[in-house]
């Protein structure tokens, strides 16, 4: 598997987890509606205790299934991703530091290029220009 396939595989897993979660949620909603309908008939009569126990067991299984699916298919891959990728905040901090360093170097370069500082570059340029003018009278600077 190439590094380009990893995000696609993780996305497929995420879609699979979300689909499973939605199915589980639908099943839970159906059980909840069933519970609401049957709970109207509940009383102290022991003949309804089996229904309540069965429903509670089913809901417990659904919750446990969701917890396991969530843990194995969603949380574990996310932990791996977060462990290998730097956090977004770290990336922005590093970007700001790089920009500050670039700005400092640009200011330093601009400062040395200013004519009032009498830098070496402008001095050399003047010397070279005067030599060319002496050597060739047709030489012009545009």
Q: What is the pTM of this model?
A: 0.26
Q: What is the pLDDT along the chain (142 residues), one digit of tens a residue?
A: 455 566 677 778 878 877 887 787 778 777 777 766 666 655 555 565 566 666 667 777 777 777 777 677 777 777 777 666 666 677 778 888 988 998 888 888 777 666 555 555 555 555 656 665 665 555 555 5
Identify the pLDDT of residue 45.
55
Q: Quick one: angle between helices 76-84 and 5-39, nearest 10? A: 150
Two tokens, residue 138? 């047709």
Alpha carbon 90 to its chain's center:
12
């Amino acid at each position: 598997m190439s590094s380009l396939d990893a995000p696609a595989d993780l996305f497929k897993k995420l879609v699979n987890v979300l689909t499973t979660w939605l199915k589980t949620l639908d099943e839970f909603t159906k059980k909840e509606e069933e519970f609401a309908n049957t709970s109207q008939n509940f009383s102290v009569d022991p003949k309804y205790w089996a229904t309540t126990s069965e429903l509670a067991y089913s809901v417990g299984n659904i919750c446990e299934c969701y917890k396991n699916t969530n843990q194995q298919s969603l949380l574990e891959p996310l932990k791996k991703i977060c462990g290998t990728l730097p956090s977004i905040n770290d990336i922005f901090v590093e970007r700001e530091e790089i920009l500050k360093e670039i700005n400092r170097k640009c200011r330093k370069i601009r400062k040395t290029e200013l004519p009032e500082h009498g830098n070496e570059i402008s001095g050399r340029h003047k010397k070279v220009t005067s030599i060319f003018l002496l050597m060739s009278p047709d030489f012009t600077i545009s």
